[in-house]
A and B are shown apart, each in its own frame.
Chain A
Amino acid sequence: MEPPPAGAELSAAWHALSTALVPPAALGLAASRSDSAGLLKDGDLRAALEVLRCYDLHSIVEEWFIEVLQTDLQANIAPEFWNCIGQYENTAEEPQCSLLLLDAFCLLKCRLDPYLNSLELLEKWTKAGLLLGTGAQMLQEKVYTMFKAILFFSTTKSFQEMIQQFYSRTFRIYMRQWKKGEDGMNECESSMSENEQESDTEESGGESPLCAGCSSKREECWCPKAMEQFQQLNDILRRLNLLERVSADAVTTILHRMIEERMEQRCRGEYERSFLNEFQEWIEKVIGWLSRVFLQDSPLARSTPEASNTLKRWRCHVQRFFYRIYASMRIEELFSIIRDFPESKPAVEDLKFCLERTNQRQQLLSSLKSALEMRLLHPGVNTSDIITLYISAIKALRELDPSMVILEVACEPIRKYLRTREDTVRQIVAGLTGDAEGSGDLANELSKADPVTLENGQESDDDISEPGDWVPDPVDADPGKSSSKRRSSDIISLLVSIYGSKDLFINEYRTLLADRLLHQFNYSAEREIRNVELLKLRFGEAQMHYCEVMLKDMADSRRINANIRDEEEKLPEEERPPFSLVAVILSSEFWPPLKEEKLELPEQVKEAMEAYSKKYEKLKAMRTLNWKYHLGLVSLDVELADRTLSLSVSPVHAAIILHFQTKSTWTLTELSEVLKVPVTSLKRKMTLWLQQGVLREEPQGTFTVIEEEQKDQVEKVVLIDSDEEGDSAMASQADQKEEELQLFWTYIQAMLTNLESLSLERIHSMLKMFVMTGPVVTEIDIQELQGFLQKKVRDQQLIYSGGVYRLPKNCS
């Protein structure tokens, strides 16, 4: 046979090649010749390629292939596919819908399969050196990129929904099956699967007519079918290399949603157990599902490094996402967690674990700070509650961050706020001594062994015993403070340091102690001594010295009283004093300043006191007593015509009622004169006797004894000032301050005499210049000064007009 002419040979070869490589429809040919393409063998095609090589045309084969593919994709395949998907809009039923999805992808695969086959062929030829290759980018990659670019450059919303629905359904079914398997393995699993049963209402037991996996009727359950479809779809997508493009988004969304949902259900508000392990297990199951999506089902494919890499990436992602979400949730709940500490310790430990893996310290700090400000630091919260929470926070955050930086930063607002509360010191001191209810914490802390002394000794960074144990401070630490100082802080030192000085605490403690000893008469000497000893360990011997002397005074007084009583008992009956007088004898220099009140006691009491003083003087040479008439406690019986009352009252009350013995009617002014007590405060004191029904006030300002109770009379309700009984025997802080300010008054008067009139600021700055630098260092801020001056204006010792202060004319 004569060889065909060159043109014909080339044309035949091209024809053979082109029809073999692409489906005929793409070339605009009739599909009838489908038989020939399948029959062509590799050998024939190679021959055809050889012909092309002769004409140097083999280089265009690949470009041509891509060109055809692109045109086909754009013109036919993509519209067809999207058309198919578009039908979803009219399909409501889920099973049909997923069927449709699968169909669409099957069709796509059908259309693209010939190209993929040819692609393999071309690859093989390139490897064999028959083709030139397409430069740096492999032909395969080019083709896959094109699939993505043309088919899924932009996906419709409904398509995304479909994919989403499909994957979340199969996820449910998968998790369901796993659980069933697990339940089957051991029926009575731990609390975990019990909870599982609680949270998922439909349990496989069968109370619900719906299948838990596919939520359709049990008899119509399509779970197995769905899993089959799931497998098919994944295979197709893998084949087309579209898996990541199409499913990654949906899978991520599903995982995130599932983790969030599960966490909401399980963990929110539940701080008393750890969830990390439980979730770790769960995540492993999720990874199992992921491996179904991203890996071929054959065990062979699973072991390839590429596959394990993919899984590793996903596992990493899921875990990190879990840590982040979990930490966020715990951070959001941190306030409650702190409140519940130590019951919430597992939650704190979980959070610590997660924080080490996520970058959320900053989030934690700002969230906790604002939670504290919102929920704690406002006028509606008792100081003792704030202190209790602060103590919890110290404990919890110490657990969370051993470097104590979080504690330091987050709790700064609490400390700042506590500084503005007047009763903070009192509350803390009360807590320390176990007086306040619900603050046993502090008392326990105080009695802990090996306390940290608050003496500011030499503290340096290099006193850590093991250099290898050194850990750098977190980045948000305040570089100005040494880490060892921060770490060594215990609860009491933190509380005491709120004000920056321990003197304030010692003074407050002294005042409270004096109050208990003098006013309330209900103290336990042993406990007080123990407390002082414990405080001595912390604050040092010198600071607590005053308190020690106070307690010693109490013991000495008891001894002296016993001594004097013995003496009295030796006397003959008629010379004995009419009532027993017991005294608390103070070393005045060591007690806080006592409130001075004037009170004139009835003669018989004064006599008894003088007699006592005499005996004391005999006992202690060259010493005498200075009685504080208004302090103490008197127990007495009031014998009326028809009744007897036994009461314990203050000396003022006793003095009042004693006067009514001699005269049954007194006016307020008369009483005020004999008692030397101002009318206003006397009036308040009268209420006790009115309330006891011993006296009546009729008319106003005149008091008479009620000898016989009149039952038929309308009961009189007399209100007593509740704060009166709780009055402290100590001069209040305000009184003490005022005394200090009195020091300034002479300076201010001198200033105003010389300069006539001065503004508030001038007075303040001049005082600062001349007085506050002197030997007596007394600070005064401008608000205090203003208050003081205004008081002077009210007392008419100053005139204030036009923004300046002036002395009244007659004063100078």
Chain B
Amino acid sequence: MRVKIRGWNGVASWLWVANDENCGICRMAFNGCCPDCKVPGDDCPLVWGQCSHCFHMHCILKWLNSQQVQQHCPMCRQEWKFRE
């Protein structure tokens, strides 16, 4: 007997490769989106800092904009630099 697969319709869910489940700023799931967004994924991406912490891009930008002097990671207080 031989079985030939003509087509396989699979189901998968996508997820961010991150070391945490929730954004440290908005406490929402990474796989969801930040409070200002409606649609997760491409429209509400994650960004990583060199300290290896990650946040919703919109969240960290808001945080950085609110910082007067120096820009720190809200988790570890190191200077915030985007990881390339």
- A positions within 8 Å CB-CB of B: 518, 521, 545, 548-549, 552, 556, 578-591, 605, 608-609, 612-613, 616, 620, 622-629, 631-641, 646, 651, 654, 657-658, 660-661, 664, 694, 705, 707
Question: Is B14 a contact partner of A624 (Cβ separation < 8 A)?
Answer: yes
Q: What is the minimal beta-carbon distance from B44 to any residue of chain A, in angstroms?
A: 10
Q: Compute how far the CA of A635 lies from the CA of B29 in the bound complex, rounded to whole angstroms.
A: 36
| Contact between chains at B14 and A635 (CB < 8 Å) | no
Contacts of B3 in A (CB 8 A): 636-639, 654, 657-658, 660-661
Give bound CA distance, A110 to B84, whole Å.
130
Say if the beta carbon of B65 comes within 8 Å of chain A.
Answer: no
Instruction: Tell me whether B1 and A634 are in contact (CB under 8 A).
Output: no
B75 close to chain A: CB less than 8 A? no
List chain B residues, Cβ under 8 A from A616. 14
**B15 on interface, CB distance cutoff 8 Å:** yes
Name the one of A589, A629, A635, A638 contacting B1, with C-beta atoms under 8 angstroms.
Answer: A638
B6, B9, B41: most-surrounded residue (chain A CB, <10 A): B9
Q: A622-B17, A624-B17, A664-B1 are in contact. Are A581 and B10 (CB under 8 A)?
A: yes
Interface: B38 (CB within 8 A): yes
Taking a contact as CB atoms under 8 Å apart, the answer to whether B10 and A589 are in contact is no
Residues of A near B29 (CB, < 8 A) are 589
B12 at the interface (CB under 8 A from A): yes
Which of B8, B9, B48 has the most chain A CB within a 10 Å cutoff? Answer: B8
Q: A545-B38, A589-B32 are in contact. Are A636 and B10 (CB under 8 A)?
A: no
State the CA gap A612–B9 with chains docked (Å). Answer: 12
CA distance A622 to B18 in the complex (A): 8
Q: How far is the CA of A17 from the CA of B6 in the complex (A)?
A: 129
Q: How far is the CB of B23 from chain A (nearest CB, A)?
A: 12
Using A579-B7, A654-B5, A661-B2 as known contacts, say yes or no to A588 and B17 having CB atoms under 8 A apart.
Answer: no
Inside 8 A of A705's CB, which chain B residues have their CB?
1
Please provide the 3 A-B residue pairs with the shortest distance between their CB atoms, ordered closest to farther: A631-B11, A589-B32, A588-B13
Report the separation of the CA atoms of residues A772 and B40 in the bound assembly, to the nearest whole angstrom. 32
* A518, B13: Cα distance in complex, Å: 12
Minimum distance in angstroms from B31 CB to a CB of chain A = 5
Chain B residues with CB under 8 Å of A625's CB are: 12-15
Enumerate chain A residues within 8 angstroms of B12, measured Cβ to Cβ. Answer: 583-586, 609, 613, 625-628
Q: In the bound complex, do residue A639 and residue B17 qualify as a contact, i.e. CB atoms below 8 Å apart?
A: no
| CB-CB contacts below 8 Å: B1-51 with A | 1-18, 29, 31-32, 38-42, 46, 48
Do residues A623 and B14 form an inter-chain contact, with CB atoms below 8 A?
yes
Give A636's nearest chain B residue, CB to CB.
Answer: B5
What A residues does B2 contact at CB under 8 A? 638-639, 661
Given contacts A583-B9, A661-B2, 5 further A-B contacts (CB under 8 A): A582-B8, A587-B13, A587-B14, A628-B12, A639-B3
Task: Say whether A707 contacts B1, CB under 8 Å.
Answer: yes
> Are A587 and B9 in contact, CB atoms less than 8 angstroms apart?
no
CB pair A632–B14 under 8 Å, yes or no, is no
For A629, the chain B residues whose CB sits under 8 A away are 10
Asked whether A631 lies within 8 Å of B10 as measured between CB atoms, the reply is yes
**How long is the Cα–Cα vector from A549 to B41 in the complex, in angstroms?**
11
B-side interface mostly? strand
Instruction: Offer 20 A-B interface pairs, CB within 8 angstroms, sorted by A.
Output: A518-B11, A521-B9, A582-B9, A583-B9, A586-B11, A586-B12, A588-B13, A609-B10, A609-B12, A620-B42, A625-B12, A626-B12, A628-B10, A629-B10, A634-B5, A636-B4, A641-B1, A651-B8, A654-B3, A654-B8
Looking at the assembled complex, report how far the CB atom of A359 sits from the nearest CB atom of chain B, in whole angstroms. 57
> What's the nearest-Cβ distance from chain A to residue B16, in Å?
6
Residues of B within 8 A of A641 (CB): 1
Inter-subunit contact A637/B6 (CB<8 Å): yes
Q: Closest B-chain residue to A587, C-beta based?
A: B40
Given the known interface contacts A590-B32, A623-B16, the answer about A583 and B11 at a Cβ–Cβ threshold of 8 Å is yes
Q: List A contacts of B6 (CB < 8 A).
A: 579-580, 635-637, 646
A590 and B33 alpha carbons, distance in the complex (Å): 10
Chain A residues lying within 8 Å of B10, measured Cβ to Cβ, are 581-584, 609, 612, 627-629, 631-632, 651
Smallest beta-carbon distance B11→chain A, Å: 4
Chain B hits for A613, CB < 8 A = 12
Report chain A residues within 8 Å CB of B14: 585-588, 616, 620, 623-626
Q: By the criterion CB–CB under 8 Å, are A578 and B5 in contact?
A: yes
Provide the residues of chain A in CB contact with B1, threshold 8 Å.
638-641, 660-661, 664, 694, 705, 707
A751–chain B nearest beta-carbon distance, Å? 31
Contact of A634 among B9, B38, B46 (CB under 8 A): B9
Report how far A633 CA is from B4 CA in the complex, Å. 14
Using Cβ atoms and an 8 Å threshold, which residues of chain B touch A660? Answer: 1, 3
Inter-chain CA distance A518–B15, complex, in Å, is: 18
In the complex where A549-B39, A589-B40, A590-B40 touch, is A626 in contact with B13 (Cβ < 8 A)? Answer: yes
Report the separation of the CA atoms of residues A624 and B16 in the bound assembly, to the nearest whole angstrom. 6
B7 near A628: Cβ-Cβ < 8 Å: no
Smallest CB separation, A789 vs chain B (Å): 32
- What chain B residues lie within 8 Å of A658 (beta carbons)? 3, 5
A residues less than 8 Å from B38 (CB atoms): 545, 548-549
Complex: how many Å from CA A590 to CA B48? 24
**A626 in contact with B15 (CB, 8 Å):** yes
- Residues of chain A within 8 A of B15, CB atoms compared: 588, 623-626
- B4 / chain A contacts, CB cutoff of 8 Å: 579, 636-637, 639
Bound-complex Cα distance A583 to B11 (A): 5
* A638, chain B: closest CB distance, angstroms: 5
Interchain CA distance A612-B40 in the complex, whole Å: 21
Given the interface contacts A549-B40, A661-B1, does A588 sit within 8 Å of B31 by beta carbon? yes
Task: List chain B residues, Cβ under 8 A from A628.
Answer: 10-13
Max chain B CB contacts within 10 Å: which of A583, A616, A694? Answer: A583
- The interface residues of chain B lying within 8 Å CB-to-CB of A627 are 10-12
Contact across chains for B8 and A605 when beta carbons are under 8 A apart: yes
With a 10 A CB-CB cut-off, give which of A589, A633, A707 has the most chain B CB atoms: A589
A651 to chain B, nearest CB (A): 8
Would you call A635 and B7 a contact (CB within 8 A)? yes
B1 to chain A, nearest CB (A): 5
